[in-house]
A and B are shown apart, each in its own frame.
Chain A
């Protein structure tokens, strides 16, 4: 039983829809009001869409009632606006009144009501498209432009101000993708510039009420822009042609002067200028030969003859004030100054070993110009002549004889000091006797070098009194116990009162503290000036410069000497006692010696503040 019922139900459920398909009749589907629009704020139209028609012919009707009124009216005009529409004429239209509209679909089986819609006419204004859109091409000085003009839709009453419309237009080249939109406000005309020459443009216009919807775009208006050459472009063409022309000319010029330009821009690389270097050999690929040829006998210099070196590297300083000193003297001075090889530790020789030697060597050194003695600067100049003595071995510079402990002779040092003396050899030769560990080194001043003070006229430059004669001793030791004092004794004190100038500044090279090979070191001082008190202001020469005074090291060991720091400009009457025995008129001569920072206890000369006492 049950199975049968199920079967029948199944069959019926399958068959009936098929059967009923052909003959289905239902009440119509629900219609729907799609939109209502008023083009002029005086009339309006409503459209609806039908639902399913239910298989039967269906009629639609529209009913409405105004707000606060129960009276229902039916649509007065179903046809004016087309199918499924209802047109409300001016008489039926009340503005500022809500309409409640409903559409009813009716067929044989029934009807169906749409949802009601409230409509206020003034809110649904959508005008027609603007009319009479015209586009023209006009010319002005910048080129052609488009002038678009139109009219408001005929239905919209804009003349009385009932509807206020604003407009909008859009433009594009026919082949372009994007439109270019422009707002035109309430005006009915618009200009478009910057056109493409020879292009075809499309223009469209639409409008909108102040509170409403935009109209549709008007149909496109086409316009052809005539060909023209924009002035801007022609200017650029002119510039391009001109620059191309200039470029060609420049290229031609450069081509003509190719080689010189190349030389200027890419200077040739100088080839190697190695003496003995044979490029050809290198090219041949025999490096051994090439390099062998480079080996020159003279390199590296093996000579330790410092004399040679000294000669080689000596630089003569010519003071501009020193007009009167012939330069030849300098060489002799140099020769006098040079000391022998460093190895001679104990020789005690000075650069000019004996005064006789010195005299020989420096015989012609005397200053020929006595008048120059009157110049203090000469001294300086004289000193300056010693200044630039350079040693080939910088380390050796100081005192090649340092180890010797000898006194370095001071050729020419004092020569200008002797004023008016015919004997211009005032070489303060100080022979430093062999060093004694604790002895005092005394300088013996050759007699002849020290003419008696009496013989010396007191020239008007007493400043040139030297201190040598006056200082019988010059003690230089920091630690008197260990140090060795320099003593510059005037063997002949009487004669020692000469105008010796001690150019005695030892300058210590800073670097030479330890690095001094067992060669002599020379230190030079120069007289800076003479102060009012007849004191010599001695100044150490620069590290390059060497004073004429060579200080000998007492110690045999090399490389030990004091560091002298000169106090420039500071005049110290260091050895007041020295002058004690002298004629006071001579005035003290201050030798400024550097404070010694002697590195070694022995063999150094210390600028001890103590004066050698006579």
Chain B
């Protein structure tokens, strides 16, 4: 909800300032996830990946994304927060499974997943300040496919990042150069 009255502009600006560090975190989160996926792709070619048993969709696919970019702030931020929450457990799972991954550089992968967890945690805490309610937790997928899961996370991190950046831009209307 965009408050146009003057009284709320200040809050708006502050909110934007609070968002800035979060967007930094979300950006970093997605970058890390992308590089992780690249590492996995190098070893598991795309064709082979399709052959492996995998879930049809990410477990967070039920979370409705906004149809367009004109979604409200509330929607955006709650979605971001929900996504983040939905990944807490799967990240734990990935982290535990990484060492046994049949991949030449699974040590790197393990450390990157740990980093992802850290960023996710800090981002979640940051967002908790901004949002009051939490969405319902989503069950982790039944079948476990490391690569697939990572690809889901990559996408979801991109979502989070995008939402937060939209929110940031909206919150700092006074300074359009931040967009």
Contact = CB atoms under 8 A, between A and B. Distances in A.
B27 to A, nearest CB: 6
Interface residues of A, number: 19
A161 B179 contact: yes
Interface stretch (A152-160, A430-438, A489-497): A152-160
Contacts of A122: 155, 158, 162
Contacts of A164: 165, 169, 179
Nearest to B37: A123
Contacts of B177: 186-188
B170 interface: yes
Nearest to B56: A68
Contacts of A187: 177
A67 interface: yes
Contacts of B155: 96, 120, 122
A96 B159 contact: yes
B56 A211 contact: no
B25 interface: no
Contacts of B46: 118
Contacts of B61: 68
A211 B34 contact: yes
B57 A161 contact: no
Chain B interface bracket (under 10, 10 to 19, 20 to 34, 35 or more)? 20 to 34
Contact of B169 (A123, A160, A210): A160
B166 A162 contact: yes
Nearest to A100: B50
B6 interface: no
B170 A161 contact: yes
Contact of B65 (A96, A118, A211): A96
Interface in A144-201: 157-162, 164, 186-188
Interface in B50-109: 56-57, 61, 65, 69
A contact patch SS: loop
Q: Residue among A67, A123, A161 with the most chain B CB within 10 A?
A: A161
Contacts of B30: 211
Interface string A482-502: 000000000000000000000
Interface in A57-108: 67-68, 96
A143 B168 CA distance: 39
A211 B31 contact: yes
Q: Residue among B61, B158, B161, B167 with the most chain A CB within 10 A?
A: B158
Given A68-B56, A211-B34, A159 B158 contact: no
A62 B126 CA distance: 44
Q: Residue among B159, B162, B170 with the most chain A CB within 10 A?
A: B162
B158 A161 contact: no
Contacts of A188: 177
A96 B162 CA distance: 11
Given A96-B65, A118-B46, A211-B34, A186 B178 contact: yes
A160 B170 contact: yes
B48 interface: no
Given A96-B159, A120-B155, A187-B177, A161 B65 contact: no
A345 to B, nearest CB: 108
A230 B27 CA distance: 45
Contacts of B27: 210-211
Given A186-B177, A186-B178, A162 B57 contact: no
Contact of A161 (B31, B34, B159, B165): B165
Nearest to B170: A161
A210 B161 contact: yes
B122 to A, nearest CB: 19
Interface string A207-219: 0001100000000
Contacts of A160: 69, 166, 169-170, 179
B45 interface: no
Contacts of B179: 158-161, 164
A66 to B, nearest CB: 11
A187 B176 CA distance: 10
Contacts of B178: 186
B69 A162 contact: yes
Contact of A96 (B31, B34, B158): B158
Nearest to B157: A211
Given A68-B57, A187-B177, A210-B27, A161 B161 contact: no
A161 B172 CA distance: 10
Given A118-B46, A122-B162, A186-B177, A157 B69 contact: yes
Contacts of A123: 158
Interface string B127-168: 000000000000000000000000000010011011001111
A161 B56 contact: no
Interface in A450-489: none
Nearest to B171: A161
A161 B168 CA distance: 8
Nearest to B49: A118
A14 to B, nearest CB: 42
Contact of B166 (A120, A161, A186, A211): A161
Contacts of A211: 27, 30-31, 34, 158, 161
A100 to B, nearest CB: 10
Contacts of B170: 160-161
A91 to B, nearest CB: 11
Nearest to A165: B179
A67 B166 contact: no
A210 B165 contact: yes
A160 B166 CA distance: 6
A67 B54 CA distance: 13
14 contacts: A68-B61, A96-B155, A122-B158, A158-B179, A160-B166, A160-B169, A161-B167, A162-B166, A186-B177, A186-B178, A188-B177, A210-B161, A211-B27, A211-B158
Closest 9 CB pairs of A and B: A161-B169, A161-B166, A161-B179, A162-B69, A68-B57, A161-B165, A68-B56, A158-B179, A164-B165
Interface of A: 67-68, 96, 118, 120, 122-123, 157-162, 164, 186-188, 210-211
Interface of B: 27, 30-31, 34, 46, 56-57, 61, 65, 69, 155, 158-159, 161-162, 165-170, 176-179
Given A160-B169, A160-B179, A187-B177, 6 more contacts: A157-B69, A159-B169, A161-B179, A162-B69, A162-B162, A210-B161
